Structure 1
Amino acid sequence: MRRPSHLKWLAAPLLALAVAGSPAAAAPNLDTRLGIAEGFRNPGVMADTHAGWERLILPWDQVQPGGADDFSHLGITISDQQLKAELDRGEHVVGLLEFTPGWAAANPDQGMRSPPINLDRPFDDPSNYWGRFVSETARHYAGRIDDWVLWNEPEFHPGDPGAGGSFTWLGSDEQFAQLLKVGYLAIKKANPNAHVSFPGTSYWVDLLNNRPQFYDRLMGVLTQDPDAAANNYYHDVVGLNLYRAPDDVYRVYSIIKDIQRKYGIDKPVWLTETNAMPSDDRAVACPHADTAIQTTMDQQAAYAVQAFAMAAAAGYQRFEFYQMVDQNPCAEPAVWGATRDDGSRRPVSAALQTAIGQFAGYIGVHLVPLVRETQDWSPWPEDPSSLMPNWQVYQVAFDKPGNQRVTAVWNGDGSPLRVRIRKNGSSASLIDRNGASHQVQDAQGWWVLDLAPATAHFPQDPDGYHFIGGEPMLLVEDGVDPSAPVVAPALGDPGSVPREFRLFPSPRDGQTVSQGQSADYFISVRGYEGFDDPVTFTLDHWSTQRVPRPQDPSTLPLGLTLPESVMPGQTAMVHLETAGADPGIYFIDVRANGGGISKTIQIALVVD
């Protein structure tokens, strides 16, 4: 079995994104975009959740333990009867091929992580054992399993901090590029209808070890192959394995798409693994209670709903929870399962049933969060190098057939929030992650609901950032015009704040520059209760630490540039030049006017 690593330093993904999609056809009405890995290991729960796809592992070292001519163990992972039952239920099955048997290892001392021997021979040469295994397997399952993933998490290196024993590949990047090429060509010849996925990678291990992403590195190798472009660079799909933070699910998708744009390609992305593994399940012998990232089973359940919502909003073609059953937590680095080995269900199983049941069949998705008024860290996506957005209330709206809209909403703050969602439907119901119904208030064109606080905080993250949000709620509206826009949530009851604008400067506490340098400030303008008038800016007065009395604007010794006007939701840039100005602390008071409202904001600048 694969032993994935999941060191995750919790990070974080634009303010509004619409993604169109359509569910793949399947037998009894399952949406094959939403899945649970290895679901066949508990078919009852798999049926209850209505998950539509599952990835399962066919380990080469177990399928062919005795030699190149032995294919008698092809059913070692899943029997033909079990596979038929999954397919009859409408499941889309994806196979993962990995791990080299000892007899085929180029470096026997590396065991199943070794590159195969004869990998450089033509893909259809019988002595290219990897090519032969892949070909025979794809041919055997053609029509039943037509999607294949070649290896999993090959980017891990021995000794990587937090990796433990999770590394699966000890060859070079160039050798892996050859393995991918051989596998792709072999599968396509054996089953022309098949799709081949680049291995799922974890993102974090390369980032934390200051390496380019494995996908980027491999594309750099593949572009040197004169036959690669004509063969789709030997992959049709890209896999990602992301854990712990729903923000990562959204943000890292854009990184993969950036890599694809760099090489002039555009391929679907699958989220082949995601989970937030609990550390508080005392019902198992090895709960991993000492893990660095403490997570409760309730937080895990909230994560499942949030991660699926963010995956759909980002644009993943498929996404799945890893995995259905623990498979002995004492032998694994984490507690993986939606169910325990004894078949009992964790809270996440109900959450998956709710999320899949409500999200299935979506035809469009919109992420429109509420951004916090203040910034306590440099946020993504405004700062592309940041790992965390600054979203206070998360809102992901799913448009579904029949004029229905399902909106997943959750709290990013550590205190309870009353929020408003713009009313678009003729009626609505509110359900929690367990599927239970709750009251929702209809008030002045808004749906009003209360959101529980977020509790999952990692000590090394900024104060106020939670890597999993609070308990998600699902607002199910009927009678929604599909063209109705999704607008950001608002805080409080209708009328709880006046119709006005407010100003939020950044940096909030001023800045310091050397004499002759320039300085930029950014003033975010936010409108409330429908305020949508332009806001203009003028210099009201200035002062210094030595001369605290307000001074005439025309005497300011700094060069000042202000925007003519900005609209609510936009940011005004204030530019200051210090050439010729004396050292000191300057206080610049800027007046903002709009809609008959006037406000003053002060920015501070230290000139050394």
Structure 2
Amino acid sequence: MRRTIRHITIPLLVLACPLGLAFLMASARPVVAEPVAVTPLPPVEETDGRAGVCYSYYPDPLTGSGRPFVQKALDAGSRWDRFDFAWPSIEPGRDTWNFGPYDTLVGDLHDAGIENIVGILQMTPQWAATQCTRGISLMDVQVSNHYPLAPRMTSPAASVLSPHLAPQDTWEDWWVKTPPQGLYEEWDDWTTDDGDPINYWGHFVYHVVDHYSDLGVMHWEMWNEPEWSYFWCGTSTDYTQLLKVGYQATKAACPDCTVLFGGLHYWINPKYYRWVLNQINQDPTAPQNNYFFDVMSVHLYSRSSSIYDEVENIRSGMGVYNVADHPIWLTETGVPVWGDPYGWVPDIPKYDYAATQDEAAAYVIQSYANAWASKVERYFFFR
């Protein structure tokens, strides 16, 4: 299909060029582009349930108040939101729970019309932390500046929810990216009576999923971009164990809930997910546990045209490890918007990797079309 379209397009372009040149040569005066008035389309009332956004509830960056993006997302057809449920904020101390602020947020989003939420379970609290088991590579340092003026990509939900969500750990705190204590114990080993450490991750995941599934949150992502040491400084083996424990804890709390593989940064290490899947395949209990995840979660911020090919590459790799039947969700895509009235830094020159509002709008259309063509099941735009 794509080859046919290309073959048709090239002759049309060849015909169009001479006609355009003839028109310009015949014109007695220079052609001046006129501003085009933009008329917003009417709100989308019926959707196919495919489209979503990330962190729609962020406040107005100019005033620090309100939630101006929720209604805009709904009007555009989004019925999904994806954001983190930060462990240090929900469980600031061992078995001390602070559900209130997230309860309010989940209720507000559902009341507004956001039907589905993907909760990212991540960030190790200091009381449950260990140490990094791998260093930060030069590539990690370079990628950390990929979107230098887009702090929304790495700001945890707690930093914009409420001052009552203390402690508000950030990704600059070394402990939040370390493997939790007791990770290699049984997922439901929650006592020290046997002389072994408590599996704090399994305990946290079970209780959070148990609580929020009653409030309609049925989709849970196990960490974010684990191949990037900015978010996870454990090894791929550590992440494999984190995923396995998280899957078992989630299904025990809510058998009908969906577990997402931690959203792949992908470009920093395109082989990372294969390493994890290879280790999962060595576990004889993997087939009976759906290989410890239900959905492959992928982030692609490159050219919109690359989405089709890279999704196909990932699906091919999944086939090697017996999970080709698992759906793929594009849980982050987008481009930093320059010249936006909601910009974080006013009056700055256009920077690398940024787009104007018109270019960003075109990116959404193109990336959505390519995602759909590649049979991506869900599409999340990260503004």
Q: Normalization by structure 1: what TM-score?
A: 0.44
| Number of the residue aligned with 2:238 | 175
After superposition, the Cα gap between the structure-2 partners of 1:183 and 1:289, relative to the gap in structure 1 and judged at 3 Å, is farther
**Which residue of the other structure, out of 283, 286, 300, is the alignment partner of 1:228?**
286
CA deviation after TM superposition for structure 1 residue 320, in Å: 1.2
1:246/1:310 contact within 8 Å kept: yes
2:334/2:382 contact within 8 Å kept: yes
Q: CA separation in 1, counterparts of 2:252 and 2:4?
A: 42
**Which residue of the other structure, out of 259, 269, 273, is the alignment partner of 1:215?**
273
1:253/1:314 contact within 8 Å kept: yes
CA RMSD of aligned residues (A): 2.4
After superposition, the Cα gap between the structure-2 partners of 1:90 and 1:171, relative to the gap in structure 1 and judged at 3 Å, is closer
| Number of the residue aligned with 1:34 | 51
Mark the runs of 5 or more structure 2 residues left unpaired by the alignment.
6-44, 59-68, 133-172, 191-197
Q: CA separation in 1, counterparts of 2:265 and 2:74?
A: 29
Q: CA separation in 2, counterparts of 1:114 and 1:101?
A: 9
| Number of the residue aligned with 2:222 | 150
| Number of the residue aligned with 1:301 | 361
Aligned residue pairs total: 284
Identity of aligned residues (%): 33
SS at match of 2:268: helix
CA deviation after TM superposition for structure 1 residue 45, in Å: 1.5
1:270/1:318 contact within 8 Å kept: yes
| Number of the residue aligned with 2:82 | 55
| Number of the residue aligned with 2:123 | 99
| Number of the residue aligned with 2:73 | 46
Q: CA separation in 2, counterparts of 1:241 and 1:203?
A: 7
- One-letter code of the match for 1:260? M
After superposition, the Cα gap between the structure-2 partners of 1:152 and 1:14, relative to the gap in structure 1 and judged at 3 Å, is farther
Structure with the larger strand share:
1
Q: CA separation in 2, counterparts of 1:222 and 1:186?
A: 17
SS at match of 2:101: coil
SS at match of 1:243: coil
Q: CA separation in 2, counterparts of 1:276 and 1:79?
A: 26
CA deviation after TM superposition for structure 1 residue 292, in Å: 2.7
1:244/1:277 contact within 8 Å kept: no
| Number of the residue aligned with 1:604 | none
Q: CA separation in 2, counterparts of 1:44 and 1:282?
A: 17
**Which residue of the other structure, out of 89, 97, 106, is the alignment partner of 1:71?**
97
CA deviation after TM superposition for structure 1 residue 34, in Å: 0.8
1:29/1:90 contact within 8 Å kept: no
| Number of the residue aligned with 2:305 | 247
**Which residue of the other structure, out of 286, 289, 294, is the alignment partner of 2:345?**
286
Q: CA separation in 2, counterparts of 1:201 and 1:130?
A: 20
Q: CA separation in 1, counterparts of 2:371 and 2:228?
A: 24
Q: CA separation in 2, counterparts of 1:155 and 1:182?
A: 18
CA deviation after TM superposition for structure 1 residue 255, in Å: 1.0
| Number of the residue aligned with 1:564 | none
SS at match of 2:367: helix
The superposition leaves residues 31-54 of structure 1 with CA deviations (integer Å, 9 ceiling, x where unpaired) of: 321111123443321332221211
The superposition leaves residues 366-391 of structure 1 with CA deviations (integer Å, 9 ceiling, x where unpaired) of: xxxxxxxxxxxxxxxxxxxxxxxxxx
1:58/1:77 contact within 8 Å kept: no
Q: CA separation in 1, counterparts of 2:233 and 2:286?
A: 23
2:78/2:114 contact within 8 Å kept: no
**Which residue of the other structure, out of 322, 326, 330, is the alignment partner of 1:264?**
322
Q: CA separation in 1, counterparts of 2:292 and 2:249?
A: 11
CA deviation after TM superposition for structure 1 residue 14, in Å: 5.7
- One-letter code of the match for 1:152? N
| Number of the residue aligned with 1:201 | 264
After superposition, the Cα gap between the structure-2 partners of 1:284 and 1:195, relative to the gap in structure 1 and judged at 3 Å, is closer
CA deviation after TM superposition for structure 1 residue 290, in Å: 5.8
| Number of the residue aligned with 1:312 | 372
Q: Normalization by structure 2: what TM-score?
A: 0.69
The superposition leaves residues 469-524 of structure 1 with CA deviations (integer Å, 9 ceiling, x where unpaired) of: xxxxxxxxxxxxxxxxxxxxxxxxxxxxxxxxxxxxxxxxxxxxxxxxxxxxxxxx
After superposition, the Cα gap between the structure-2 partners of 1:78 and 1:214, relative to the gap in structure 1 and judged at 3 Å, is farther
After superposition, the Cα gap between the structure-2 partners of 1:74 and 1:255, relative to the gap in structure 1 and judged at 3 Å, is farther
CA deviation after TM superposition for structure 1 residue 206, in Å: 1.4
1:32/1:92 contact within 8 Å kept: no
Structure number with greater CO (CA < 8 Å, separation at least 6) is 2
Q: CA separation in 2, counterparts of 1:83 and 1:298?
A: 28
Mark the runs of 5 or more structure 1 residues left unpaired by the alignment.
1-12, 18-27, 158-166, 208-212, 324-608
Q: CA separation in 1, counterparts of 2:234 and 2:322?
A: 27
The superposition leaves residues 395-448 of structure 1 with CA deviations (integer Å, 9 ceiling, x where unpaired) of: xxxxxxxxxxxxxxxxxxxxxxxxxxxxxxxxxxxxxxxxxxxxxxxxxxxxxx
CA deviation after TM superposition for structure 1 residue 77, in Å: 7.8
- One-letter code of the match for 1:267? H
After superposition, the Cα gap between the structure-2 partners of 1:280 and 1:43, relative to the gap in structure 1 and judged at 3 Å, is closer
Q: CA separation in 2, counterparts of 1:93 and 1:30?
A: 16
2:334/2:364 contact within 8 Å kept: yes
**Which residues in structure 2 correspond to 1:202-601 (within 5 Å)?**
202-207=265-270, 213-265=271-323, 266-281=325-340, 284-286=343-345, 289=349, 291-323=351-383
- Indicate yes or no: 2:178 matched with 1:114: yes
| Number of the residue aligned with 1:137 | 208
Structure with the larger helix share:
2
**Which residue of the other structure, out of 111, 128, 133, is the alignment partner of 1:85?**
111
| Number of the residue aligned with 1:423 | none
Q: CA separation in 2, counterparts of 1:176 and 1:149?
A: 13
The superposition leaves residues 516-554 of structure 1 with CA deviations (integer Å, 9 ceiling, x where unpaired) of: xxxxxxxxxxxxxxxxxxxxxxxxxxxxxxxxxxxxxxx
